[in-house]
Chain A
């Protein structure tokens, strides 16, 4: 209970313990504001996958152990009073792996954010694509990238929070495409895990390889934020981003203004060249010469 009050951060060593989906929602969303999105979706078994046990069996076990129906939880809520679309991933559920339901819930959440014109915040934690749904899991990478365009259209910000661990297909799709990418301290964030790298290249990796701090030093992250500051800092990031949306000149209006000030600057430049050039403008354009003379 004491650990929960400390947001699952060790009071002695500052270690950020993994946080379950529901706990993460409780930490970030204002009490009583949560309206789930895509909750009705349930995983199927398209490949009838069987390794040493069946996928159906593994799913049932994950569901009963976590009390969740899938590894992604999405909803509309308020964060310190500000309306947002919030998504959280739960590593306990089959390693937070992205199968069809995770992809579809993400898509529905993006659609809800665009529809309600609220920013999107996703707290990521995932081992990558879900092997048991085979190629369809890989396609969720494409799907989650494609849908992000609908946020660009309505100019709503997307902030991702990378937590321990985030690897593989999730990191290589929507998670790193956020407008602002932040991470919790000490999180392992990499495309291939350290064990795979050591096995493939036989190189010994340095201490702290692939952790948030190393990624930050390599320029892959905007901010590393301690969990106790996360809610407040996310609020600051969002209000600055939204301030840009409110104050900025609409791209379309920008063009109009240029036109009203006396036309496209490029056209003006061409007109000057035309006036002073020794060679008549039309001859430079070859076959258009006749037309130019007529005009």
Chain B
């Protein structure tokens, strides 16, 4: 900008620059929102992709023995490190057709009851349980409510709390609220670098607190939902690094790192007495929360 002596533009420019700086400081970083988008990336590896790369002999088991089989939750047995493990995970689907068939990874009560049935089976035959968490949340639909969605999540939490076999959860994409936690009350909880885990979706939070779901990027920042945030808050045990530019760039490489982490944790957990392991898991969740006292 040309400056003319005596006109005083410099002063104006300096003021504008200062207020811009101030604005920038007040504006939250969009790093959290970028992570949300990566966590939801349509090409990001999902439960069945991890199974393909890590558990070639996976045998899927179906049905909740009550009324149905929920395609939003996949579960079955597979071999890992010489023994059988029970693998359970949310499956969102990659293309539109699969996404619709799997209800976008939003389970109904049947899904949570299938998971409970499978972990009880695992307990009976001393199989460690590995869960892969990736859901926007439990399905908010009339039929799900009528089938007892809340109760199904609650009993799932109790089923996981009661297990004496080793349990490991990996948040691989979107850890959406109670619908995610229902599979994640585990001895070890890991999170991929670009995964998120939150009490509510950023859109839902923005709609309630900002009264505008377009404020989701701000809500994402406020909610502290990234892997590093959760590590800092003591909710996850470690963060699994992803390939450069994200897990969707290489399913195979990501699955390899995840498998290595699960195997290491399994070996460590198997050295602990089952009842001790159960007690430590309970203790860990009992200690969660921050408060003060007067």
Contact = CB atoms under 8 A, between A and B. Distances in A.
A190 B235 contact: no
Interface stretch (A167-175, A231-239, A242-250): A167-175
A104 B289 contact: yes
Interface residues of B, number: 53
B257 interface: no
Interface stretch (B87-95, B149-157, B260-268): B149-157
Contacts of B181: 138-139, 141-142
B222 A190 contact: no
B294 interface: yes
Contacts of A241: none
Given A42-B294, A200-B141, A135 B198 contact: yes
Contact of A172 (B149, B209, B223): B149
Contacts of B72: none
Given A146-B285, A192-B140, A197-B141, A139 B235 contact: yes
B222 A177 contact: no
A177 B152 CA distance: 10
Interface in B169-205: 177-178, 181-182, 185, 197-200, 204-205
A44 B177 CA distance: 21
B235 A136 contact: yes
Nearest to B197: A135
Contact of B292 (A41, A133, A142, A203): A41
> Chain A: interface residue count, which band?
35 or more
Most buried by B among A43, A142, A174: A142
Given A46-B290, A134-B198, A136-B288, 15 more contacts: A51-B209, A131-B200, A135-B198, A135-B230, A138-B199, A139-B181, A143-B288, A146-B286, A149-B161, A169-B177, A173-B154, A175-B154, A192-B144, A203-B142, A218-B146
25 contacts: A41-B292, A99-B289, A100-B288, A131-B199, A131-B208, A134-B223, A135-B223, A136-B235, A136-B288, A136-B290, A140-B288, A141-B157, A143-B286, A146-B161, A147-B286, A148-B158, A149-B282, A172-B138, A176-B150, A176-B151, A177-B155, A190-B145, A192-B149, A197-B140, A197-B142
Interface of B: 138, 140-142, 144-151, 153-155, 157-158, 161-162, 177-178, 181-182, 185, 197-200, 204-205, 208-210, 218-219, 222-225, 229-230, 233, 235, 282, 285-286, 288-294
